Structure 1
Amino acid sequence: MYSKYVIVVLVATFAAFASGQSYEDKRCKCVCPSPAAVFNKTVADKTADHRRHYIANVPPNKCNCAGVIIPRDGPEILGREQEFCPRCECKYENRNTTIIKVVVIIVIWVIMLLVVYMGFLICLDPLINKRAKASYQEHTNEDDESTLGGPSTQMGARGNVLNRVTHQQDKWKRQVREQRRNIYDRHTMLN
């Protein structure tokens, strides 16, 4: 049954890698002001103030205004390239999308493992508490342990690790309850 889930996850992973090939690892990104803002055209809409982003898949030697922007917005800036192009900032970017995908998949697997572990602990907690309630007597004071034979004989009677863990858990819960009582009593006394 679990093998079906593993196969589905593997197929989904390979599909993600196959569909991800449409993204380019190398690109040229140019950020330019709006042509209307550069040429002092009065435009009714507010887009004149914004900067435009141009992204193209060109070789590094053509990552400039003439190689990216003029082929797209040529009619808008025709004859005024000397005014417009110096205001553009072009950068050639190189990234590795395969490494990004692998890291994302690893993070997703770690989160899935942690969720499964949390579910295991949630299922185990009632079993631990059921066994602890059957063999546990609540002590009101830590000094009472010394009159009952001390912690060494008590640990010897408990024997296994599970009982020791539940004992420590119950001790911690008692301490938390006592601290809450002290805080709430002090809080009511202050008011």
Structure 2
Amino acid sequence: MTLRKSFFLSFFVLFIFSFISDVNAQYEDVRCKCICPDTAVVNGTQSHRKLYIENVPPNKCDCTNVVLPRVGDDIKGKEKEFCPRCECKYESRNTTTIKVVVIIVIWIISLLVIYMLFLVCLDPLLNKKTTTQYQEHNNEEDESETHSQPLRASGAGVLNRVGQTTDKWKKTVQEQRRHIYDRHTILN
């Protein structure tokens, strides 16, 4: 059992370090984002907008420092007409927080998948022992007392209780089906 725990612990550590390692991303944590009209707008031919992104200090986040170095030749002499149409914003984001949130979401999904696989593997084991046919009963209180006494006496765990609850639910469903399809009545 300790070998399994150490295996899962080492897998967990390797998985975390694989996401935390230093990655050179395409985007920076800070940037200046300018949305400007297409250069053909100055000439009066189009009305599309273009996005210009540059990594500059906050005080240089404007059309002159971000957009004009890229499109200077296209709008030469019409800068005063072009730049007022640009909207520049300085953005800052924390990619470390984004990474941590993504890792947590992946781990939660992974744990749920592992739990689902555990339950899928556990279901045949629980259903294997319940091969008895359905017997109609009238008093549910007597049934619950007879099932709970051996459970307490034998010291069975949560697994047996889950199995018995599942069996009781399945019997209730079978009884409801029998009443609806065979007798054409609805249970209250």
> Same-fold call, TM > 0.5?
yes
SS at match of 1:76: coil
Extract unaligned runs of 5+ from structure 1. 42-47
Give 1:155's aligned amino acid.
Answer: S
Q: State TM-score, norm by structure 2.
A: 0.77
% identical equivalent positions: 52
Counterparts in 2 of 1:21-170, with a 5 A limit? 23-41=27-45, 48-131=46-129, 133-134=130-131, 136-141=132-137, 143-145=138-140, 149-159=142-152, 160-161=156-157, 162-170=159-167
Structure 2 CA distance for aligned equivalents of residues 11 and 100 of structure 1: 16
Deviation at 1:22, TM superposition (A): 5.4
Q: Over residues 69-92 of structure 1, what are the superposed CA-to-partner deviations in whole Å (9 max), with x where a residue is unaligned?
A: 100000111110111111111100
Give the superposed CA RMSD. 2.9
Give 2:165's aligned amino acid.
Answer: Q
SS at match of 1:52: strand
Deviation at 1:7, TM superposition (A): 5.2
Higher normalized helix content (fraction of residues): 1
Q: State TM-score, norm by structure 1.
A: 0.76
Extract unaligned runs of 5+ from structure 2. 1-6
Between Structure 1 and Structure 2, how many residues are aligned?
Answer: 174
Structure 1 CA distance for aligned equivalents of residues 28 and 66 of structure 2: 16
1:171 equivalent among 164, 168, 172: 168
2:20 equivalent among 14, 23, 26: 14
Q: Over residues 140-186 of structure 1, what are the superposed CA-to-partner deviations in whole Å (9 max), with x where a residue is unaligned?
A: 34x1556xx5532332134434443322212222333444566678x
